[in-house]
């Protein structure tokens, strides 16, 4: 497919109700068609992997097109510079999250750690958020990082969560869950941090959307979580 054809396909799938939902939780909808994730995923399967088209879709600036770009990107051709650029271009958390989960964490671990360190210092909310999403993803699926590295991130969350920006807080809570579910030792340490957060009444603001702040302490101490960790 050509760029203009794909953009027409996306626009034809626009859903005003979805636009309203995302607007309620704070998205800038000026460049958002309101295409559902299911529709984007279906279109991605139709197109297949296409590195050049992915670059064109991203350059269009259309939010839905950028989500599609991540899904059709050929992971054998993507570069570290491209991932870094896309991450810094991300204008909302759904986009920065998918760049991290589908692209960043599949690259060389040294590069991932470097991006995390850089992103932790970013003045852009969604870039800083991406660092904690990446930390959580590494805790969930990487065997190339030791527990000491996650101790550092736990301490950082403990120190900064009460003063962090809204969507960064949510990502911190995600990372805390994933670190706490990595092994029994980290679980105990994560529970200590989660208890402090619970007692401090740290809240993620979701605008008018009917969502609640995740209770990490409650989850990490639950029978379900403990059963997954084993004895």
Angle at which helix 109-120 crosses helix 125-141, to 10 degrees, equals 140
Question: How would DSSP label each residue in 167-203?
Answer: HHHHHHHHHHHHHHTT-HHHHHHHHHHHHHHHHTT--
Tally Cβ neighbours within 10 Å of residue 41.
13
pLDDT digits (tens, 9 = 90+) for 55-101: 999 999 999 999 999 999 999 999 999 999 999 999 999 999 999 99
Q: What is the largest CA-CA distance in the chain?
A: 56
Residue 231, pLDDT > 70, answer: no
Structural domains for the chain: 1-77 (no CATH), 78-230 (1.25.10)
pLDDT digits (tens, 9 = 90+) for 183-230: 999 999 999 999 999 999 899 998 877 788 999 999 999 999 999 997
Q: What's the chain's average pLDDT?
A: 95
pTM: 0.95
Rg (CA), the chain: 18
Cα–Cα distance list, 170 to 26, 60, 126, 135, 197 (Å): 14, 28, 11, 13, 12
Question: Residue 159's Cα: distance from chain center in Å?
Answer: 21
Average pLDDT rounded to a whole number, residues 135-149: 94
pLDDT digits (tens, 9 = 90+) for 151-160: 999 999 999 9
pLDDT of residue 208: 77
Cα–Cα distance list, 69 to 57, 83, 125 (Å): 6, 12, 22
pLDDT digits (tens, 9 = 90+) for 92-140: 999 999 999 999 999 999 999 999 999 999 999 999 999 999 999 999 9
The number of CA neighbours under 13 Å toward the Cβ of 158 is 15
Whole-angstrom distance, CA of residue 63 vs CA of residue 36: 12
């Amino acid at each position: 497919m050509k760029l203009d054809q794909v953009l027409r396909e996306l626009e034809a799938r626009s859903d005003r109700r979805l636009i309203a939902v995302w607007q309620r939780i704070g998205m800038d909808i000026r460049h958002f068609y309101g295409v559902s994730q299911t529709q984007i995923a279906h279109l991605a399967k139709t197109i297949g992997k296409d590195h050049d088209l992915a670059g064109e879709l991203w350059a269009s600036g259309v939010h839905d097109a950028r989500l599609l770009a991540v899904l059709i990107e050929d992971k054998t051709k993507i570069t570290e510079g491209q991932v870094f650029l896309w991450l810094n271009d991300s204008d909302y958390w759904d986009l920065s999250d998918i760049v991290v989960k589908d692209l960043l964490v599949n690259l060389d671990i040294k590069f991932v750690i470097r991006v995390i360190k850089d992103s932790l210092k970013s003045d852009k909310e969604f870039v800083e958020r991406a660092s904690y999403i990446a930390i959580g993803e590494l805790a969930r699926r990487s065997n190339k990082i030791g527990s000491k590295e996650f101790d550092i991130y736990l301490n950082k969350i403990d120190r900064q969560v009460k003063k962090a920006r809204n969507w960064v807080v949510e990502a911190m809570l995600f990372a805390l869950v994933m670190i706490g579910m990595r092994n029994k030792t980290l679980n105990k340490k994560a529970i200590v941090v989660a208890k402090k957060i619970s007692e401090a009444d740290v809240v993620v603001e979701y605008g008018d959307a009917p969502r609640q702040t995740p209770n990490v302490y409650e989850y990490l101490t639950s029978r379900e979580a403990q059963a997954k960790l084993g004895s």
